């Protein structure tokens, strides 16, 4: 009985660790990214490096803004440029 309890606890710990490493993704959002960052990624055909450069550019233009705000500004800039 003692070893089965240990096995159950080990399984629970492994499941919790895997869930934690995935960032709690359940299929909705993309692991900690803001909706604007996900949209920016879609607009740039999944090019993560380009998205990071665009966000960094916006953060340099407006020091002190969050990554999510910079992503929103980059989305707005892309929409403005593409009209």
pLDDT digits (tens, 9 = 90+) for 4-51: 888 888 899 888 888 777 765 544 444 568 999 999 999 999 999 999
Residue extents of the structural domains in the chain? 33-83
pLDDT, tens digit, for every residue of 43-77?
A: 999 999 999 999 999 999 999 999 999 999 999 99
Q: Which of 30, 83, 64, 59 is nearest to 73 (CA)?
A: 59
CA distances from 5 to 1, 9, 17, 18 (A): 7, 6, 18, 20
| CA 25 remoteness from chain centre | 10
Is pTM, for the whole model, over 0.95? no
Q: Who's near 36: CB < 8 A, 6+ residues apart? A: 68, 71, 72, 74, 75
């Amino acid at each position: 009985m003692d070893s089965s309890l240990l096995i159950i606890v080990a399984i629970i710990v492994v499941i919790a660790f895997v869930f934690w490493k995935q960032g709690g993704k359940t299929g909705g959002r993309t692991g900690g990214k803001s909706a604007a960052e996900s949209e920016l990624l879609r607009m740039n055909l999944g090019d993560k490096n380009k998205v990071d450069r665009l966000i960094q550019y916006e953060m340099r233009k407006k020091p002190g803004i969050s990554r999510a705000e910079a992503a929103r500004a980059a989305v707005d800039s892309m929409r403005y440029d593409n009209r």
